[in-house]
Amino acid sequence: MSKIRLFLNIVLITSLFIPNKGYALGDFFQEQLDMVNAVIKDQFQRVEEAVNTKYDEAVKVQTKVKDYIEEQQKKISDDVNNYVDKVKENGRYLIDTWSFMPTDDPASRLENPDLVLSVPSIITRNGYNCETHTVLSEGFLLNVHRIPRSKHGREIPKKTVLLQHGLFASSADWILNGPEKSLGYVLADAGYDVWMTNIRGNKYSKEHAWLKENTKEYWNFSWNEVALFDIPAVIDYIRKVKGEDAKIAYIGHSMGTTILFTMLSLRPEYNEKLSVGLALAPEVFISNMKSPIKSLASVTSHIAHTEMVYGAHEFLPKKSFLGQMNKMCEAQQMDSYVCDNVIFYICGADDEQFNRTLLPFFLSNLGTGTSWKTALHMSQLVMSEKFQQFDYGYADRNQRIYGSDTPPEYDLSKVTLNVTLFWAQNDLLSNEKDVMKLHEKLPSSTLYLVPFPKFNHIDYLWAKDAPRLVNDKVLEILDEAMKPKVRDLFFPFRF
């Protein structure tokens, strides 16, 4: 009521100052009403225009989101269809591979106690001393298995070799072919102090000082972190045990070679801490691989994203299909022949060098733990055709980490270590073109073609004729690299 009184008083006072005596009070009210209506109409039009503008913008955003979703769905669909087509295309090779049936009797295969023993227990059972050394790196407790001397030796030799396994593997790779054939034993008998690593996350290096295994933070690594932190920590540990002047030879297989070249490009000071490098089946440039798993590269990012969204950060753990292959491929079952040939299908068929009795042992140590980030990083090498750091998929995130929209390539010109690249014509994962590309980019490298046409990616580990085809050459290279320099012969003392 007070507001109405105030309005009437204003009207009354205003009317006292109206110069025209004939100006009717009704006209005044009408004029005021028209003015208010005009203001209200103007405000309504402005609000209506603003609402229409926002609505149009919302429709545009909705359209963009819809188009983006359709684009991503189409991309995923195309990637999956391409993968299916590739599998169909390679189907005849799978059939050809599975058609191979061996002549030996499965019933003759005896149960192998090595299937349930740890690497140190197997080494000890074969008459060698074995030590386990634990190295701390970024909280991971890395267990390194060491054969310090030959079976009959008493003194620990000064000559030292570091063996680095590949993807899905462990230190078991270097002993699975038994004494006289596996490099772990062969090198020990040849007078070398042998150290066999286990990368973070595998079954021998699962422990972490503060992170739990089922967390995202635990599995947030690829081989980049292994090369940047873990292997340098192991090398420094060995030098602390052996002496700062100890020179260490590095032998890597498959992803073990990826780790070597990554480490030497990111930490070039380690070129001087190693005496020589041997890369068995190098995995650096891998876009030309012939293995059917290449067709998985295009869908790995989608699968990895889905898996990680649901909290699965470990890639193919023991409970997975691959991790359970050893249980499905027991030595007493005919199915093991299929398992043999699935490996041939992926790595290259070589029934002549394949020791089938090793299959259960090999499979029991397969899938020992790695991260989805590692698998995704590998697929990026296939798709990019470059040897580059991990691509986070977003320009702004790459900018925060690398200072560029795309991940930088590893600088192979910094790898000054003398490296021998071992390659084989039937290796479906380490293709000749890719090996030659690596050879051209390295400042100091030599090539060694394994003299057996059917030799494949994993024959380095279990070939029947490994001593003749690989080990003899390895020993020749190491012996040459470990020879004292002329300077050291004439000036053995340091001043």
Give the domain CATH number at 441: 3.40.50.1820
> What are the CA-CA distances from residue 27 to residues 7, 8, 24, 33 (Å)?
16, 15, 5, 10
The answer to whether residue 67 sits within a structural domain is no
**What was the pLDDT predicted at 73?**
59
The answer to whether residue 15 sits within a structural domain is no
**What was the pLDDT predicted at 293?**
76
For residue range 294-322, list pLDDT tens digits in order. Answer: 777 777 777 766 666 556 677 766 555 55
**What was the pLDDT predicted at 311?**
61
**What was the pLDDT predicted at 123?**
96
The answer to whether residue 8 sits within a structural domain is no
The answer to whether residue 69 sits within a structural domain is no
Over residues 82-107, the mean pLDDT reads 44
More confident residue, 318 or 103: 318
Domain count, the chain: 1
The angle, 0 to 180 degrees and rounded to 10, between the axes of the packed helices 335-347 and 91-98 is: 130
More confident residue, 281 or 484: 281
The answer to whether residue 223 sits within a structural domain is yes
Quote the distance between the C-alpha of residue 270 and its chain's center.
22
**What was the pLDDT predicted at 358?**
73
Over residues 405-415, the mean pLDDT reads 98
The answer to whether residue 231 sits within a structural domain is yes
Over residues 401-420, the mean pLDDT reads 97
Range in 230-239, 422-431, 478-487 the model is least confident about: 478-487
Nearest to 381 by CA among 208, 134, 167: 167
Q: How many CA atoms lie within 13 A of 96 on its CB side?
A: 10
Query: Per-residue pLDDT for 7 more than 60?
Result: no
Over residues 125-151, the mean pLDDT reads 96
**What was the pLDDT predicted at 100?**
37
Range in 7-16, 254-263, 276-285 the model is least confident about: 7-16
To the query of whether residue 305 is one of the catalytic residues in this protein, the response is no
The H or E element containing residue 335 is helix 335-347
Q: Give the Cα separation of 371 and 168 in Å (integer).
A: 10
The answer to whether residue 148 sits within a structural domain is yes
Which residue range forms the structural domain that includes residue 292? 77-483
For residue range 370-393, list pLDDT tens digits in order. Answer: 888 998 999 999 999 999 999 998
**What was the pLDDT predicted at 57?**
77
For residue range 347-369, list pLDDT tens digits in order. Answer: 655 667 777 777 777 776 666 67
The answer to whether residue 53 sits within a structural domain is no
Q: Which of 118, 171, 254, 265 is catalytic?
A: 254
**What was the pLDDT predicted at 332?**
44
**What was the pLDDT predicted at 101?**
38
Q: Which of 165, 208, 313, 457 is catalytic?
A: 457
**What was the pLDDT predicted at 62?**
72
To the query of whether residue 439 is one of the catalytic residues in this protein, the response is no
